[in-house]
Amino acid sequence: MDFNSLIFLGFFAGVAALTYCFPRQAKPYFLLLASYAFYMYKPQNARLVVLLVSATVVTYCCGIALGSEKLRNKWARRAFLWLALLCCGGILFFYKYFGFFSQLWADLAGVFGGHITAGALDLAAPLGLTYFTFQSLGYVFDVYRGRQKAVLNPVHYALFVSFFPCIFTGPIERAGHLIPQFSNPAPFSYSRMAGGAFRMLWGYFKKMVLADGLGVFVSAVFAAPEKAAGPYLLAASLLFSCQLYLDFSGCCDIAIGGARILGFDLTENFQRPFAATNYSDLWRRWHISLSSWFRDYVYIPMGGNRCAWWRQALNLIVTFLASGLWHGASWGYVIWGALNGLILVIGKNTAGPRAALARHNPLYRWGPLKRLIQRVCVYGLFTFCIVFFAADLYGGSAGAVFGGLFSGWDLSWQALLAGFAGRGLDLTVFMVSAAGILLVEAIERCGPVAEWIRRRWFFVRWPLYYLLAAALLFFGAFGKSAFIYQNY
Give 470-488 pLDDT, tens digit per residue. 988 888 766 566 666 666 5
Q: Residue 456 contacts by C-beta under 8 Å, 6 or more apart in sequence?
A: 464
- Cα atoms in the Cβ-side hemisphere of radius 13 Å centred on 201: 21
Question: 253-271: string of b/e by CB count within 10 Å (b at 16+)?
Answer: bbbbbbbbbbbbebbebbb
CA angle 238, 243, 245 (to 5 degrees): 105
pTM: 0.91
Residue 314 confidence (pLDDT) above 60:
yes
Q: Residue 223 contacts by C-beta under 8 Å, 6 or more apart in sequence?
A: 394, 395, 396
Residue 93 confidence (pLDDT) above 70:
yes
Question: Residue 447: which region, alpha, beta or left (left: phi > 0; alpha: psi -120 to 50)?
Answer: left
Lowest mean per-residue pLDDT among 90-104, 157-171, 216-230, 438-452: 90-104
**For the chain, how are helix, strand and coil distributed in percent, rounded to 5?**
75, 0, 25
Q: Residue 106 contacts by C-beta under 8 Å, 6 or more apart in sequence?
A: 116, 117, 118
pLDDT digits 0-9 by tens, 322-371 = 999 888 878 889 999 999 999 999 998 888 888 888 888 888 888 889 89
Element holding 138 (H helix, E strand): helix 129-145
Residue 142 confidence (pLDDT) above 60:
yes
Helix (H, G, I), strand (E, B) or coil at 12: helix
Looking at per-residue confidence, does 141 or 308 come out higher? Answer: 141
Residue of 410, 484, 420, 388 lying closest to 220 (CA atoms): 420
Report, as residue numbers or ranges, the catalytic residues: 327
In angstroms, rounded to a whole number, what is the distance separating the alpha carbons of residues 262 and 118? Answer: 47
Which one of 123-137, 154-168, 401-415, 451-465 scores highest in mean pLDDT? 154-168
Residue of 205, 213, 178 lying closest to 35 (CA atoms): 178
Please give the pLDDT value at position 438.
94
Residue of 330, 329, 485, 326 lying closest to 397 (CA atoms): 330
Average pLDDT, the chain: 88
In angstroms, rounded to a whole number, what is the distance separating the alpha carbons of residues 414 and 422? Answer: 12
pLDDT digits 0-9 by tens, 28-84 = 999 999 999 999 888 777 778 889 999 999 999 999 999 888 888 889 999 999 999
What's the mean pLDDT in 21-25? Answer: 88
Handedness of CA 45, 48, 49, 53 (dihedral sign): negative
What burial class does residue 237 get, using C-beta atoms within 10 Å of its C-beta: 0-12 exposed, 13-18 middle, 19+ buried? buried
Which one of 20-29, 35-44, 155-164 scores highest in mean pLDDT? 155-164
* Residue 446 burial (CB count, 10 A): 12
Residue 112 confidence (pLDDT) above 70:
no
pLDDT digits 0-9 by tens, 194-240 = 889 999 999 999 999 999 999 999 999 999 999 899 999 999 999 99
In angstroms, rounded to a whole number, what is the distance separating the alpha carbons of residues 291 and 192? Answer: 28
Contact predicate 175/140, CB 8 Å: no
What's the mean pLDDT in 238-249? Answer: 94
In angstroms, rounded to a whole number, what is the distance separating the alpha carbons of residues 432 and 475? Answer: 9
Residue 118 confidence (pLDDT) above 60:
no
Q: Residue 99 contacts by C-beta under 8 Å, 6 or more apart in sequence?
A: 118, 119, 120, 121, 329
DSSP state of 225: G
Helix (H, G, I), strand (E, B) or coil at 184: coil
Please give the pLDDT value at position 122.
59
Lowest mean per-residue pLDDT among 186-200, 262-276, 371-385: 186-200
Contact predicate 126/42, CB 8 Å: no
Please give the pLDDT value at position 150.
93
Contact predicate 295/283, CB 8 Å: no
What's the mean pLDDT in 311-323? Answer: 93
